A and B are shown apart, each in its own frame.
Chain A
Amino acid sequence: MIRMTVNGRTFDLDAKPHERLCDLLRRALGLYGVRVSCSEGECGSCTVIMDGEPVTSCLVLAMQAEGREVVTIEGLGSEDDLHPIQEAFIEEQGFQCAFCTPGFIMAAKAFLDENPDPTEAEAAMAMSGNICRCGAYPYIVKSVMNAAAKLREEGSVSNTG
């Protein structure tokens, strides 16, 4: 049994010695927002946030995540209460089939936590670890810029409020 915090809740999970973090999250917790595509670290669709940093969960052993705090797309917002980045992706149509979207949003979340006021070029560079087969890239960059503005606004409201 290994203990880890996933989306704010602590779990004791029965991980196999060679099991990948992406597989454990899907198998044991049903977190199917963790999309596994290339399994080679290239496409970013399996991106989750571990201890505040974005990681490709297809390259992490579940055992390596013991004691860590993991956040997946399911931990960001809910259907009734979307996260500002999710809202921004809908507003800007930052997807077509949306297979890649959870990975992009988690990468964007980690990026905007570090750089709340990016240039468009910085946002595009920050998304270069994710692949979108539908080619929604221009809209994805717009979504990230929109999300940045939303989060800044939210920040300034909560600071004064």
Chain B
Amino acid sequence: MIRQFGYLRPDSIDAAIVMKTRHGERARYWAGGTDLMLQWRRGEVMIDHCIDLTHLSGLDGIEALPGEIRIGAMATLDDLDQASSMHPVMQALGDTARLMCTKQTRTLATVGGNMCNASPGADLSPLFVALEARCLIEGPNGRREISMENFLTGVNRTALDGQELLRAIVVPVPQARREASYRRVARTVVDIALVSAAASLTADAGTIKDARIALGSVAPVPVRVTEGERLLVGRSLDDIDSAHLEEVAGHAATVARPISDVRAGAGYRTRMCPVLVRRALADALGRFGGDEE
């Protein structure tokens, strides 16, 4: 079957939204195309019009603003990798980006595309959830902002309505020190995560003020391990020993709802959840050690 589509190149974000509004469901925003090209060629998505976002300005770039870091939706995974040294929270994002895809696809794949494609295995989603990231959305009726937890609504489903466009992802930078980490298991270095965990800890004067743990690939959307998080808040960083980590991580297995597929069984995935939570927490804790601010 010969498939083809029309090509549209908006010269502004507003123009892109007008095009999407006019052409409807079978017009697609085209970012890096690393998901879309495959889905279109396999006939999984029907496209009449490609609305190419790559030539637009104002959607790329990673910017440090007071109290937050703003990642343009069109920033690539490679850009995220290069921005690692900007801030401790960017360190975790950069480390994660480097695990994803291959070098020659990281230069194409965008952060926004990873979120909008909303695969349960998308590596950035658990980490963005753990980092309390928010999504800046632009649509025909103006702008709105929602948390990443509310943005991801299901397998390949987001809170974007038909015409809306993801403009940027905002990662808050709290006053107190925050360290985060993401761990996954995958069959090979270039494979998608079978199961993953992200942890973010915020501590003031050696005491944990806030803890967020999110699991990936074990449900349609990232799952928070709230019981485990509660056990961490109020603790002194120095007090946390392996028995304590074990207890926190143990709660991960109870919230996971994984599926079995060709890549791994549900039992394996469930058993790996506590292991990965423990590893991610140990990484984050380790980063507090030594170089106190």
Contacts and interface: CB of A to CB of B under 8 A. Distances in A.
10 contacts: A17-B5, A41-B37, A41-B38, A44-B102, A47-B104, A55-B108, A61-B30, A63-B7, A111-B103, A129-B190
B22 interface: no
B236 interface: no
Interface string B91-107: 00000000001111101
Given A20-B37, A58-B37, A67-B55, 18 more contacts: A17-B7, A17-B50, A18-B3, A18-B4, A18-B50, A39-B41, A41-B104, A41-B105, A42-B190, A50-B107, A60-B108, A61-B30, A64-B52, A110-B103, A125-B189, A126-B103, A128-B103, A129-B105
Nearest to B36: A59
B108 A56 contact: yes
A53 interface: yes
Contacts of A40: 38
A17 B6 contact: yes
Contacts of A18: 3-5, 7, 50
B240 to A, nearest CB: 33
B3 to A, nearest CB: 7
A128 B189 CA distance: 8
B164 interface: no
Contacts of B38: 40-41, 59
A41 B3 CA distance: 20
A144 B108 CA distance: 24
Interface string B27-47: 000101110011001000000
Q: Do most interface residues of chain B lie in helix, strand or loop, or is the interface mixed? A: loop
Interface string B1-34: 0011111010000000000000000000010111
A147 interface: no
Interface in A77-114: 107, 110-111
Nearest to B32: A59
Contacts of A67: 55
A18 B36 CA distance: 12
B115 to A, nearest CB: 18
Nearest to B37: A59
Given A59-B33, A61-B50, A128-B189, A44 B4 contact: no
Interface size band for A = 20 to 34
A54 B104 contact: yes
Contacts of A44: 102, 104
Contacts of B41: 39
Interface size band for B = 20 to 34
Nearest to A43: B102
A128 B102 contact: yes
Of A44, A59, A110, A125, chain B has the most CB atoms within 10 Å of the CB of A59
A47 to B, nearest CB: 5
B79 to A, nearest CB: 10
Contacts of A42: 102, 190
A133 interface: no
Contacts of A20: 37
Interface in A120-148: 125-126, 128-130
Given A111-B103, A128-B102, A61 B3 contact: no
Given A18-B5, A55-B108, A128-B189, A107 B103 contact: yes
Interface string A13-48: 000111010000000000000000001111010010
- Listed from nearest, the 3 A-B pairs whose CB atoms lie closest are A129-B102, A17-B7, A54-B104
A18 B50 CA distance: 8
B7 A54 contact: no
B107 A53 contact: yes
Nearest to B53: A64
Contacts of B55: 64, 66-67
Given A59-B33, A63-B52, A128-B189, A53 B4 contact: no
